[in-house]
Amino acid sequence: MNSKFKKILITGASTGIGRQLALDYGRDGASLWLLARTESKLQDLVLQIQDSGGKARSLVCDATIEKNLLAALQTAQDESGGCDLVIANAGWGGKMMYPSDRNIHVLNQVIDLNYKAAAQTLEFFARFMAEDCHGHLVGVSSIAGFRGVPAGAAYSSTKAALSTYLESLRFSMHHFGVRVTDIRPGFVRTPMTDNNKIPMPFLMEVDVASRKIRRALERGRKRFTFPWQMAIMIHLLAGMPDFLYDWFAFRTYGKLARSGRPGKSEENRSG
């Protein structure tokens, strides 16, 4: 796929979806600014991208520390002279268990990363893109934002907030010719889902997810929920009356609701 995007910033680029997007855009010859906390993974990625003909620069940063995040984004802005694509992708599943004395801490971490840092990243670049009347802003939300999912109070609510933020931002950016896209993946095989014990219908490989996301962005989609089977299912669930949705949710993820959300994502270091 030959991309129209030449200068790209991606947060959460060290693993999973962000990493795959970086590799694929790098292969197309883009210049990339890649933000995450793990320096070694970012350095390996930078080398891989350079080997494949792209240009990449790592921005090692905890996105939940506002001062550091804004400094890293300013570096990308200064070096690029203005990105044409910004993908706020960094996210964490969070583990909500009941009863637990950690839930407020987890909640804060998830809000800070999935909502605050994502919105701050997009808001930072919205100003420059509006001035230039050019660019594309992208948030990676989730199908979990359509309805509250068991054990996912923090995750679901922050993804719903991010999607609503993106929709509002879209109206503001419209006058400046700046596009805004809300990406809502179903299950993708990444470190976030690696240790999941829950059913993951239509689980998708990360290279396939990256291809679908890139195609949606080339087409300027406003909202992209995928895979299509999951999009149909989730829209049906979104319109379901509560008694039916509760029955479905308890039946499929009832055990999870009692035992908490398993998975590698619970190891978030700042958590």
Ligand X SMILES: NC(=O)c1ccc[n+]([C@@H]2O[C@H](COP(=O)([O-])OP(=O)(O)OC[C@H]3O[C@@H](n4cnc5c(N)ncnc54)[C@H](OP(=O)(O)O)[C@@H]3O)[C@@H](O)[C@H]2O)c1
- Residues taking part in catalysis: 155
Give yes or no for residue 89 binding ligand X (CB under 6 A): yes
- From candidates 24, 26, 30, 64, binder to ligand X by CB under 6 A: 64
Which part of the chain contacts ligand X (CB under 6 A), choosing from 56-64, 217-225, 235-243, 247-255?
A: 56-64
- From candidates 121, 163, 181, 193, binder to ligand X by CB under 6 A: 193
- From candidates 5, 7, 8, 15, binder to ligand X by CB under 6 A: 15
In the region spanning residues 106 to 135, those forming contacts with ligand X, defined by CB under 6 A, are: 113
Give yes or no for residue 76 binding ligand X (CB under 6 A): no
Give yes or no for residue 91 binding ligand X (CB under 6 A): yes
CB of residue 12 to ligand X, shortest distance in Å: 3
CB of residue 16 to ligand X, shortest distance in Å: 2
The residue (of 130 and 233) whose beta carbon lies closer to ligand X is 233
Q: How far apart are CA 73 and CA 51, in angstroms?
A: 25
Q: How far apart are CA 13 and CA 36, in angstroms?
A: 6
Which part of the chain contacts ligand X (CB under 6 A), choosing from 126-134, 146-154, 188-196, 245-253?
A: 188-196
Task: Please tell me the count of residues contacting ligand X according to CB under 6 A.
Answer: 31
Q: How far apart are CA 184 and CA 21, in angstroms?
A: 15
Helix runs in 81-148, H state only: 103-110, 118-132
Give yes or no for residue 36 binding ligand X (CB under 6 A): yes
CB atoms within 10 A of CB 187: 20
**In terms of DSSP bridges, do strands 31-36 and 85-88 run parallel, antiparallel, or are they unpaired?**
unpaired
Please state whether 159 falls in left (phi above 0), alpha (psi between -120 and 50) or beta: alpha
Angle at 110 between CA 188 and CA 238, to 5 degrees: 60
Distance of CA 114 to the CA centre of its chain: 8
